[in-house]
Amino acid sequence: MFHDLTQSDTRLEECEEIYQQAKAGFAVWRRLAFQERIGYLRTLRRLIVTNLDQLVDVICGDTGKVPVEAVTADLLTVVDFLKYVEKSGEKALKPRRVPTPLLLFGKKSYVEY
């Protein structure tokens, strides 16, 4: 899947275009249903696991880390987080009631993402 993961340094002139691309991507992402987003994240997790050796080589080459550190500090933390989001994300992000400050007595407070 990953053939060439080399990345050149980003020039300052490229930053605005990269930002605009990310902004456009977010406009698409925000319209996706939660389960569709989870499908993309699951695919990403599986790609990381499938291509672990190649990703470790890139991380080690770019950072000077040893392979064990690249796996434990960089890749497994991402894989674990993606698995958590797949399992608990919907529950964690659903609106929930929170305590209301005393000054707003008689009102109800909620946190929504």
Identity of the amino acid at 88:
S
Q: What pTM was estimated for this model as a whole? A: 0.76
**Binning pLDDT at 50, 70 and 90, where does residue 7 land?**
confident
The alpha-helical segments, DSSP class H, found in 1-113 are: 15-29, 34-50, 52-63, 67-69, 76-93
- Rounded to 5°, angle at Cα 108 from 106 and 110: 165
**Binning pLDDT at 50, 70 and 90, where does residue 3 land?**
low
Write out pLDDT tens, residues 27-55: 999 999 999 999 999 999 999 999 999 99
Burial label for 55, CB within 10 Å (0-12, 13-18, 19+), is buried
Q: What is the Cα 53 distance to its own chain's centre?
A: 20
